[in-house]
């Protein structure tokens, strides 16, 4: 019985655009959600902002690991020796997408700017990142400027929903 071409070449490889869009959107929404959750109790000291930055980074790494592992085990094909490592490495956009927020929170913890209210800057940052990801990836796909802008707005709405939910919950 002949082995299929897909099985012979290893697990399904996602193209870079797909990986960047998925990981970027996932990471930006994760950053918004984590900032909302971590700032829920009103802790605004420099130490709490350093803690928030660390927890966001740990959560992003754990999410990337879990997502990469899920992709790896979901493949129903034989795996080669380093396929697991390659699959996990494909999750870099998720971690990269949270780094600006980690830096923003850590910067508040290190005294670069006031720690109180930094969550609002983080929300705006992630909404802008979501809009940019939607716009750029739509343009990569040769969509028109109006369609690309609407795609960016749609992605930005994901972050806005998190911000709105945070405001309602508080």
Alpha helices in the chain (DSSP H): 5-8, 16-38, 46-74, 83-89, 92-109, 118-140, 145-169
- Under the banding of pLDDT at 50, 70 and 90, the label for residue 5 is very low
CB 160 within 8 A of CB 127: yes
pLDDT, one tens digit per residue, over 48-100 is 999 999 999 999 999 999 988 887 788 767 777 777 778 778 889 999 999 99
Mean pLDDT over 117-136 rounds to 93
Burial of 159 (0-12, 13-18, 19+ CB in 10 A): buried
Average pLDDT, the chain: 85
């Amino acid at each position: 019985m002949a082995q299929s071409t897909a099985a012979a070449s290893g697990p399904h490889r996602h193209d870079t655009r797909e990986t960047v869009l998925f990981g970027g959107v996932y990471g930006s929404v994760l950053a918004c959600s984590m900032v909302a959750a971590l700032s829920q109790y009103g802790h605004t000291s420099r130490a709490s902002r350093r803690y928030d930055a660390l927890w966001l980074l740990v959560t992003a790494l754990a999410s990337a690991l879990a997502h990469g592992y899920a992709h790896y085990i979901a493949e129903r094909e034989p795996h080669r020796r380093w396929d697991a490592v390659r699959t996990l490495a494909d999750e870099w956009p998720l971690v990269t997408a949270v780094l600006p927020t980690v830096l923003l929170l850590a910067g508040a913890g290190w005294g670069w700017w006031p720690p109180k209210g930094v969550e609002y800057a983080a929300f705006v940052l992630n909404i802008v990142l979501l809009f940019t990801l939607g716009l750029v990836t739509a343009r990569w796909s040769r969509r028109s400027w109006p369609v690309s802008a609407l795609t960016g707005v749609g992605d930005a709405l994901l972050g806005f929903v998190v911000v709105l939910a945070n405001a309602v919950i508080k």
